Amino acid sequence: MEGVIDHHMRHLLTRIGGYDHCVTEFVRISGQLLPPVVFYRICPELAHGSQTKSGTPVTLQLLGGAPGVMAENAQRAVELGAAAIDINFGCPSRFTNSKAGGAILLKEPERIYSITAAVRCAVPDEIAVSAKIRLGYETTDLAMENAKAVEAANASFITVHARTRVDGYHYPARWEWLGKINDALSIPLVANGDIHSVDEFLRCRDISNCEDFMLGRGAVIQPDLARQISAIQLHTSIPLMKWHDVIALVIEMAGYMRVQPEMKEKKVLGRIKQWLVYLRRQYPEAEALFGEIRQVKQLSKVDALLRLADSSGYNS
């Protein structure tokens, strides 16, 4: 997730467990072959076997609207070590859509086909090529056609975020569509949208009949959600992650970020506050802590408050 889940977060979250693989933030392709440094910045795991430190495979995601240059960049990504490529046809950003990338392409199934097919042809067969779509731009009229275009282009699987571009991130995900599309395809479908808790996972599974799921915001709202879901799938259960362990993750994330030369103090503060905003949906303690730090502008003070929360919440 752009601006939320970078390689530090992938490391922390996959270490908890439950993920079969994870996907990078998108690499924006706009008209040229990008230098290796861009790929390594978004996906440092390329230099480590395309895996997080805990061994979870990392898929590199590309976003763009021109088949030829998408194919060239996919080829380069694979030369640099990418083990799998995903194509983003879901990004709703006005900027992205104005550059003919992301969800705007859902208006043109033939372009979904040609981009996916070009990328598929450009990389060796053993490299998985997948695509992520929404149900459409304004309406769901082309949902099936777009999904079939991905399949016809020989993608290894498809991920469907069960909302349209116009739905944004707010309207409830339309899980019933996932089952309909899944029934019509022969490639696997990964269900996505509004799986933010174990209960939502169970309801999504019941309604969609899908077997594979992608977490979006749920991964940061409840850091052990994938592990919880994985336990349920194995008919076991595992205690929920305690606030003490969650705050320790936030402290660890802040520690990684502050030593990055490109991460200015303000940006690190922003990322800490951003995570607490997500966490407060699951942990009341995060709400209280966010209230304490929201106006604080010095990283050292926020650090001290995080550490205080860590020590006082030891038994919670």
Ligand X SMILES: Cc1cc2nc3c(=O)[nH]c(=O)nc-3n(C[C@H](O)[C@H](O)[C@H](O)COP(=O)(O)O)c2cc1C
Cβ(13)–Cβ(219) below 8 Å: yes
- In the sheet that holds 212-214, the strands lie side by side as 22-28, 58-63, 84-89, 128-136, 157-164, 189-192, 212-214
Q: Which of 64, 67, 81, 193 binds ligand X (CB under 6 A)?
A: 193
Interacting residues with ligand X between 231 and 290 (CB under 6 A)? none
Q: Is 266 helix (H, G, I), strand (E, B) or coil?
A: helix
Number of residues that bind ligand X (CB under 6 A): 21
Q: Find the binder of ligand X among 10, 161, 227, 271 (CB under 6 A).
A: 161
Q: For 104, which DSSP code?
A: G
Residue 210 CB, shortest distance to ligand X, in Å, is 14
d(CA 33, CA 46): 17
Strand partners, 190: 159, 212
Q: Which tokens sit at 165?
A: 């571009």
Catalytic residues, by residue number, are: 91
Q: Please pick, from the candidates 216, 246, 249, 278, the single residue that binds ligand X as defined by CB under 6 A.
A: 216
* 88 binds ligand X, rule: CB under 6 A: yes
Residue 65 tokens, joined: 């609207």
DSSP secondary structure string for all residues of 203-242:
HHHHHH--SEEE-STHHHHSTTHHHHHHHHHTT---PPPP
CA-to-CA distance for 71 and 140, rounded, in angstroms? 28
Question: Which position among 6, 45, 194, 285 is part of the footprint of ligand X (CB under 6 A)?
Answer: 194
* Per-residue CA distances from 31 to 66, 74, 101, 220 (Å): 7, 13, 11, 33
Considering only the stretches 38-46, 216-224, 241-249, 279-287, report the one whose residues sit in contact with ligand X under the rule CB under 6 A: 216-224
- Residue 18 found at the interface with ligand X (CB under 6 A): no
Question: Which of the residues 91 through 110 are near ligand X (CB under 6 A)?
Answer: none
169 lines the binding site for ligand X (CB under 6 A): yes
Q: How far is the CB of 60 from ligand X (least distance, A)?
A: 11
Closest residue by beta carbon to ligand X:
216
- The reply to whether 151 sits near ligand X by the rule CB under 6 A is no
- Site stretch for ligand X (CB under 6 A), options 51-59, 143-151, 215-223, 293-301: 215-223
Among 6, 18, 26, 227, binds ligand X (CB under 6 A): 26
The yes or no reply on residue 116 touching ligand X (CB under 6 A) is no
Minimum distance from residue 292 beta carbon to ligand X (Å): 24
- Please give, one letter per residue, the 3-state secondary structure of 60-88: EEEECCCHHHHHHHHHHHHHCCCCEEEEE
Binders of ligand X in range 124-143 (CB under 6 A): 132
Q: Identify the residue among 10, 11, 111, 217 touching ligand X (CB under 6 A).
A: 217
Stretch that binds ligand X, among 2-10, 118-126, 148-156, 233-241 (CB under 6 A): 2-10
Q: Which residues bind ligand X (CB under 6 A)?
A: 1-4, 25-26, 61, 88, 90, 132, 161, 169, 192-196, 215-218
